[in-house]
Amino acid sequence: MMSENNYLYASSLVRASEKGGSAGERLETILSSANAESLCKNAAAIFGVDEKSTPEAVLEGALMRCISTIRSAVPDMSVFAPLLYKYDCNNIKLALKSSLLGIADGVMISGAGTIAPDTVAKCAETGDFSKVPLAMGKAAKKAREAYLKTGEARAIDLMLDRACFEDMKKAADEGNVPLISEIVSATADKVNILTYLRIGKMNMPEESAKALLSRALVVGGKIPHTAFFGDIEYLKSNLGNCIFKKAIAEFDGSFTALEKVLDDIILSLVRDVKFKAFGAEVPIRHLMVCEAEILNCRIMARCLAEGADKAEARRRMRCAYV
């Protein structure tokens, strides 16, 4: 599946499906939204999907359009599974909480994962998770048992997030696409960095903080887990060749700003792909740019709800100029 010739059709199709206008023009269109209604209209135009009653409904349609295009074109979608497991993970967590807490049906947020949402819902109802990715299936069963025993809803998130990265790393290794492995590794490091910093701000007793950190750190990154069990200077001195080294050195205490910088660094991994005629990397870039622009629309929706001005919204936007 690494042969570039296998992706001649896929590369042509995803590029043909991309809407006109530059990334900068699309960003300005998002920023021009004056309210939720205009954001719906602008997002629908940007992504080439039907206009819906809420921005979130439009964005789900945009994501599904992107993934459906990739699915219809690539020779083996399992190669791209590591990039979609996050949607499975969210669906499994929501389905478990829905089942255990008695929440009404219809809480599934996305059909973008590798497993159909109704299948995930049935797994949560029956306790049989054999149809979901292996590590997440085992974690879901343990999380269900843990919640029934302790009532700790947080255990569901912690167990599933960790298992998700186990499945991501395994599938990335098996798929043998170096760019996917880079993205998975960088994403794991990003999650662990933000987790470490957020737990550090919780003013918990040291032993309690370490215990929570041990449960929350995910696998697959380049930063050793031991680097997170010390102060910020200890972390900085143990980052190795992590691509986030400069970002951590310049961290000023703003989680919002840091998360943007980390996301932009991960996006930069696909920057050179736009000059590549064909290959597995082309649909990877297509997905990541789409996800970044969807995130920018969500950021705009939050800014509108908060009454933040256009300048503030622009500062928060991810760089989709890749």
pLDDT tops 70 at residue 108: no
pLDDT band at 3 (very low <50, low <70, confident <90, very high): low
Query: CB neighbours (10 Å) of residue 54?
Result: 13
Q: Compute CA distances 41 → 26, 36, 55, 308, 319, whole Å.
A: 13, 9, 9, 20, 22
pLDDT band at 104 (very low <50, low <70, confident <90, very high): low
Which residues contact residue 201 at a Cβ distance below 8 angstroms, ignoring those fewer than 6 apart?
none
CA angle 114, 19, 34 (to 5 degrees): 95
pTM for the whole thing? 0.92
Using one digit for the tens of pLDDT, what is the confidence trace for 117-148?
889 989 988 889 999 999 999 999 999 999 99
Q: Give residue 1's pLDDT.
A: 46
Q: Give residue 15's pLDDT.
A: 85
Mean pLDDT score of the chain? 90
Task: Read off the pLDDT of each residue in 186-205 and give the average, rounded to a whole number.
Answer: 94
Which residues contact residue 212 at a Cβ distance below 8 angstroms, ignoring those fewer than 6 apart?
199, 204
Q: Give residue 19's pLDDT.
A: 66
Which pair of tokens denotes residue 265? 């660094």
Q: Give residue 16's pLDDT.
A: 83
Q: Give residue 24's pLDDT.
A: 85
Using one digit for the tens of pLDDT, what is the confidence trace for 141-169?
999 999 999 988 899 999 999 999 999 99
Using one digit for the tens of pLDDT, what is the confidence trace for 228-258?
999 999 999 999 889 999 999 998 888 889 9
Distance CA 155, CA 51 (A): 38
Least confident span in 41-50, 82-91, 98-107, 238-247:
98-107
Task: Read off the pLDDT of each residue in 54-82 and give the average, rounded to a whole number.
Answer: 92
pLDDT tops 60 at residue 85: yes
